[in-house]
Amino acid sequence: MIELTETQAKALDASQQPPVAVDTRTGQEYLLIRREVYNKVKAVLRPIGRNWDDSADDDLIRKDA
């Protein structure tokens, strides 16, 4: 777990929602969402991925897309 600095915590109250965190090493952006929101999204997406949990099916996924 990462604990936020005071400045980072204030960003949670900013008008841009969800807040964006940037990895300065890579430039990769991450969206910060509450655990409750994450759990809801995960529950919605779980049925979609249920058929793709078998590594034998990996060749069915396009690699060039």
Residue 55 CB-half CA count within 13 A: 0
Quote the tokens at residue 52: 């793709």
Q: 51 and 57 in contact (C-beta within 8 Å)?
A: yes
Q: What is the pTM of this model?
A: 0.56
pLDDT exceeds 60 at position 2: yes
Question: Which residue is associated with the tokens 């109250």?
Answer: 13
Q: 7-49 pLDDT, tens per residue? A: 888 888 988 889 998 999 999 999 999 999 999 988 888 766 5
In single-letter form, the type of residue at position 37 comes to V
Task: Report domain extents, the chain.
Answer: 10-52
Tokens representing 64 are 């060039």
